[in-house]
Amino acid sequence: MQYRPLGRSHLKVSALCLGTMTWGEQNTQSEAFAQIDRARDAGVNFIDTAEMYPVPPRGETYTATETIIGNYFRERGNRDKWILASKIAGPNRDMRHIRGGQTRFNREHLTAALDASLQRLHTDYIDLYQLHWPDRSTNMFGDLGYRHDLDEQLTPIEESLEVLDEMVQAGKIRHIGVSNETPWGVSRFLHLAETRGWPRIVSVQNPYNLLNRSYEVGLAEMSMREQTGLLAYSPLAFGTLTGKYLNGLRPDKARLTQFSRFIRYTNPEAQSACARYVQLARDHGMDPAQMALAFVTRQPFVTSNIIGATNMDQLNRNLSSINMGLSDAILEAIAAIHRSQPNPAP
């Protein structure tokens, strides 16, 4: 396993991070425990979750994932072996089961969310506490068109950072990060940290994969120059880059089979590009998923690649990707596909 600095902190996290958003929905607690043990055996020391998980988010399963992780720590007693990341849910996503559906990054909601997460996770502190998406309307979750709303009610970033600073000082969280953010948002967080003495973000958790490399425009430079590395989520584009959904296939129990809402990577252009990447991997005797993961992990602006799995075979193959090198021929072919079909799934 490789280990990389988490921003400008003293922490070093594994280049592969264990994702958890299926636990409590597609995975049972016993399956989740087995995944944690297997990842730890492979050298993974970084685990990412969220109060919102599992997905799809619904009231009946809300908080199940954090509860499972907390049960693991309580039973195993090895909390100190893990760098733990979680997230507070943001506003405007029609989730009335989370604090009445009006979640904001203000004192009331930050305090309520963090205290509840700490209780569920059976821990006194969270190593990396992240804002799951911006407390403002912006282009995220596949929406590239920014539309400004002069009348929008939002929580000022200053207010959020002031509260987060108090939480750091109290020892409840060690570091902060953002997710689904834009270059403007990242720069604003950094500016306020520098000028006000508030905590500096150490990471940005955004989507990044062969079908969506939009992070490279603007945010990659920010990550390199400001040491705010990417925690890449959806590195397999909801599993499409494995090739298992090509030609209309819908395997039993697979995510896109069970949940119709996950359509971000299923448009015809994305499917066309996906087929080319899958064929490229097979032509070079590689597993398509491992090629896709290896491409993400090797990027210099990536701190950690968040892998997820619904069964142990998937997890083992994902973990093995850390040892996969990509030849110049493969990298040149990936670049050629990207030039001809750039970011088909925003």
Which residues are catalytic, by number? Answer: 53
Structure tokens at 42: 């492979």
Cis peptide before 5 (omega within 30 of 0): no
Structure tokens at 71: 């049960």
Structure tokens at 27: 């995975």
Q: Which amino acid is at 318?
A: N
